């Protein structure tokens, strides 16, 4: 589709998101140009790393001057696909799912929730913001119509893998999983897990010393 490199390391990709956020802040402060050294100082990173991350996608710095904030923001948004609307669905409207949905509605950037799902029949049918809650069994019918390619998965661990299979079957290409399980997915599907317990256990280890 575009001539972007397709083999970008996840670490580098996550940093691009961080750069984008930081640049947006700088723009709001009225700053028009910034050097990699200045950026590096703001969040603990190294200047050459920032330059390497950026040059994967082309040369958009000006030697001797730095980067134009506005232009770089635009470029990063395009790279990340945030210039297009990204339709997402939330599966599992419990407390966490509800909180995430609310957050995404408030901070609606490129991401737009187009549907939600839950297994609790009492929740089904109600509207939250601009989208409706469907029963999970309707995933195969509803998802293809929405055109969503990204799903946020906040169901109980027991049903996570089953639900994930249904989602990919229905055309979902990427899953952000909050259930504490290791999802098994085909290589063409991208799954990212956010696991609070794993993070807490990591912190518990460090607190010991």
Partner DNA sequence: CCGTGTGAAGTCCTTCACAGCT
Partner DNA sequence: AGCTGTGAAGGACTTCACACGG
- Applying CB under 7 A, the residues found at the interface with DNA are 9-12, 35-37, 45-49, 51-52, 54-55, 59-67
Indicate which of its own copies, DNA, none lies near residue 21 (CB less than 5 to 8 Å, by partner kind).
its own copies
Least distance (Å) between residue 8 CB and DNA:
8
Closest CB to its own copies among 84 and 137? 84
Query: Residue 153 in contact with residue 178, Cβ under 8 Å?
Result: yes
Residues near 148 by Cβ (< 8 Å), separated by ≥ 6?
87, 88, 89, 114, 115, 171, 172
Least distance (Å) between residue 76 CB and its own copies:
9
Closest CB to its own copies among 114 and 175? 175
Query: Residue 69 in contact with residue 31, Cβ under 8 Å?
Result: yes
Closest listed residue to residue 174, CA positions, set 158, 188, 190? 190
Closest listed residue to residue 12, CA positions, set 47, 42, 44, 54? 54
Least distance (Å) between residue 55 CB and its own copies:
17
Residues near 51 by Cβ (< 8 Å), separated by ≥ 6?
36, 61
Closest CB to DNA among 47 and 110? 47
Indicate whether 128 belongs to the interface with its own copies (CB under 8 A). no
Residues near 159 by Cβ (< 8 Å), separated by ≥ 6?
119
Binding residues for its own copies, rule: CB under 8 A, are: 1-2, 4, 6, 8, 10, 13-14, 16-18, 20-22, 42-44, 79-82, 86, 88, 94-96, 98-100, 102-104, 107, 109-111, 149-150, 152, 173-176, 180, 182, 184, 190, 192, 194-209
């Amino acid at each position: 589709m575009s001539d972007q490199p397709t083999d970008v390391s996840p670490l580098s990709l996550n940093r691009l998101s961080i750069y984008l956020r930081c640049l947006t802040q700088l723009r709001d402060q009225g700053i028009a140009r910034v050097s990699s050294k200045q950026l590096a100082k703001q969040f603990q990173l190294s200047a050459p790393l920032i330059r390497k991350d950026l040059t994967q996608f082309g040369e958009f710095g000006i030697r001797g001057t730095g980067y134009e904030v506005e232009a770089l923001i635009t470029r990063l948004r395009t790279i990340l696909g945030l210039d297009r609307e990204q339709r997402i669905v939330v599966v599992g409207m419990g407390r966490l799912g509800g909180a995430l949905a609310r957050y995404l509605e408030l901070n609606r950037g490129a991401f737009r929730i187009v549907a939600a799902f839950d297994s609790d029949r009492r929740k089904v049918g109600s509207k939250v913001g601009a989208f409706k809650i469907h029963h999970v069994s309707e995933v195969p019918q509803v998802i293809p119509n929405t055109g969503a390619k990204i799903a946020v998965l906040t169901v109980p661990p027991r049903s996570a893998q089953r639900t994930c299979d249904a989602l990919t079957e229905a055309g979902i290409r990427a899953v952000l999983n909050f259930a504490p399980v290791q999802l098994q997915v085909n290589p063409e599907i991208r799954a990212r897990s956010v696991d609070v317990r794993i993070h807490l256990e990591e912190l518990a280890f460090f607190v010991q010393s």
